[in-house]
């Protein structure tokens, strides 16, 4: 039993840094396109960002400058937070 617990703890300590790879990043850019039906924002950096279903698109149109905080999940940039730059 002790060997089993030691093996589980060793495995957990090896795999724990993997969570650190999914860190949030941010980008400041201007909105190029808004696709409400696909829940996507395209910025002038040429990249697309997926937003959650409950996302509020109010005030977001092409030409608005924003700061997007996102996390890469399965190769997709998923918006965690968004701020409009005045």
Q: Is the separation of the CB atoms in 45 and 27 below 8 Å?
A: yes
> How far apart (Å, rounded) are the C-alpha atoms in residues 42 and 61?
10
| pLDDT tens digits along 61-74 | 999 999 999 999 88
- Predicted model pTM: 0.70
Higher pLDDT among residues 24 and 10, named by residue: 24
Burial class (CB in 10 A: 0-12, 13-18, 19+), 32: middle
| pLDDT tens digits along 17-65 | 554 455 678 899 999 999 999 999 999 999 999 999 888 888 899 999 9
Q: Is the separation of the CB atoms in 69 and 81 below 8 Å?
A: yes
């Amino acid at each position: 039993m002790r060997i089993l617990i030691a093996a589980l703890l060793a495995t957990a300590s090896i795999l724990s840094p993997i969570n650190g790879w999914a860190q949030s990043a941010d980008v400041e850019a201007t909105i190029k396109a808004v696709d409400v039906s696909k829940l996507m924002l395209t910025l002038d950096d040429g990249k697309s960002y997926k937003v959650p279903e409950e996302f509020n698109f109010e005030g977001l149109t092409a030409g608005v400058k924003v700061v997007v905080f996102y996390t890469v999940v399965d190769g997709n940039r998923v918006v965690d937070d968004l701020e409009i730059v005045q």
